[in-house]
Amino acid sequence: MQDLPIPRIGRRDLFPRLQARAYLSHAAISPPSLLVERAVQEALSDYATLGVGAFPLWAERREQLRGALGRLLQVAPSLVAVTPGTTHSITQLAFGLPWRRGERVVLFRGEFPANVTPWQRAAEHFDLELDWLPLPPCRREEGASPEDPSGFVLEHLERCLRRGARLVAVSAVQFQTGLRMPLTAMAELCHRYGAELAVDGIQACGAVPLAVGDAKIDYLACGAHKWLLGVEGVGFTYVRKERAAALVPRLAGWLSHEAGEAFLVEGSGHLRYDRPFKPAPACFEGSSSNVLGLAALQASVGMLLELGVESIFDHIQGYLDLLEAGLTELGCHSVRARHPESRSCILSVQLPEGASGGAVIARLRQAGVAVSHPDGLVRFAPHFSNDLDEIPFVLEQTRRALRP
């Protein structure tokens, strides 16, 4: 098999077919690398050659992926389940907690709907109460941003927790603004007041350092197709060891059972429907795997571990520092946090007064700058493969796109 380019920070050798000259939409969907393409082709080839004989091979590969995810999150691999993605994982959690009627769930206004809708459905089903908290202001019309956004979040959260809550659901990084939430302090507050913390990690994992175990996060859900550089339709769930035993597998499947596949390999008399369920989060792996997605994620996580998330994060911060300064000179209003500890790998801006976001986005894309447009902001999201040398091009195309 032909050797592939070595992953290097600031080089896009592994993305030779990528059309955009500056691809800055990793917060939306990341393009597959050559490593991912080869891994998917390998999985297809195994199944094309062996058929069902490939199943045990890729069951073993799933265990290898679980180990890699454990290293990425800095947790025991047994606490990680491979799932179809963020929404599936959050839904499993929302319907798997042992709720009592009237318990309160704390949500944040401005969250991506994947971390809202499942909790809303659980609230309706289990007769729970929802409590909404604000995120720090960041847009021009909202007034000046607080000097310490973490303090803003923690102050509102503690005030809410004093009234009693069962669970707080939050994204590690806010998808619109790139605000990095103070997860360790939030977990400490939650536990002090008898609550648990559930985190949507899709805008962080892969590019933002996140030691999940040290932060004492109770639950974390993530999909592969953004900063993890995988593909859509696969992801993972983490459950803190102290929380696993209490979860109820209400949305279980046939492989959620202990030895659920035994009747297929051990002869007659093993077809049963009363086998005990696996402990969480293994019980979330209730059906056949998305093998192609699994292969892609294993390849991409291996690449990220090789490069080092800390190094990736530092590279992206240097890129965004330069880009933010240039966009500000063009009259854009940055909503990026001032405090470094509240920054992620997203830079979102409001355009100058009178500029049409839709028109600017279209012009940028036509010029070879791929960006996204969440809720009226223009979002720039580079990854390790973006070269600092492309920043003058991005700024020049933005200047042209802003012309009336």
| Residues 291, 384 share a domain | no
pLDDT of residue 193: 98
| Residues 161, 240 share a domain | yes
pLDDT of residue 148: 86
Number of domains in the chain: 2
Residue 58 in any domain: the answer is yes
pLDDT of residue 201: 98
pLDDT of residue 137: 86
What residues does 106 pair with on adjacent strands? Answer: 131, 168
Closest CA to 253 of 96, 360, 41: 96
Within its chain, how far is the Cα of 300 from the centroid?
Answer: 14
pLDDT of residue 1: 55
pLDDT mean by block of 10 residues, the chain; 404 residues: 89 97 98 98 97 94 97 97 97 98 98 97 98 89 74 96 97 97 98 98 98 97 98 98 96 94 88 94 93 98 98 98 98 95 97 91 97 94 98 98 91
| Residues 235, 116 share a domain | yes
Residue 335 in any domain: the answer is yes
- Cα distance between residue 168 and residue 174, in whole Å: 15
Residue 5 in any domain: the answer is no
| Residues 276, 331 share a domain | no
- Cα distance between residue 404 and residue 394, in whole Å: 18
Residue 336 in any domain: the answer is yes
Residue 181 in any domain: the answer is yes
pLDDT of residue 269: 87
pLDDT of residue 364: 97
| Residues 317, 217 share a domain | no
Domain finish residue from 305, 329, 352:
305
| Residues 381, 262 share a domain | no
Residue 227 in any domain: the answer is yes
| Residues 184, 226 share a domain | yes
Q: What angle do CA 225, 326, 308 make, to 5 degrees?
A: 40
| Domain containing residue 89: CATH number | 3.40.640.10
| Residues 253, 357 share a domain | no
| Residues 361, 277 share a domain | no
| Residues 337, 199 share a domain | no
- Cα distance between residue 385 and residue 181, in whole Å: 25
pLDDT of residue 82: 97
pLDDT of residue 145: 67
Q: Which domain holds residue 240?
A: 51-305
Residue 36 in any domain: the answer is no
160 and 131 in contact (C-beta within 8 Å)?
Answer: yes
- Cα distance between residue 25 and residue 216, in whole Å: 30
| Residues 243, 329 share a domain | no
What does pTM read for this prediction? 0.95
- Cα distance between residue 283 and residue 196, in whole Å: 20
Residue 6 in any domain: the answer is no
| Residues 351, 253 share a domain | no
pLDDT of residue 147: 72
Q: Which residues of 362-396 are buried (b: 16+ CB within 10 A; e: fewer)?
A: ebbbebebbbbbbeebbbbbbbbbbeeebbeebbe
Side chain identity at 359, as an amino acid letter? A
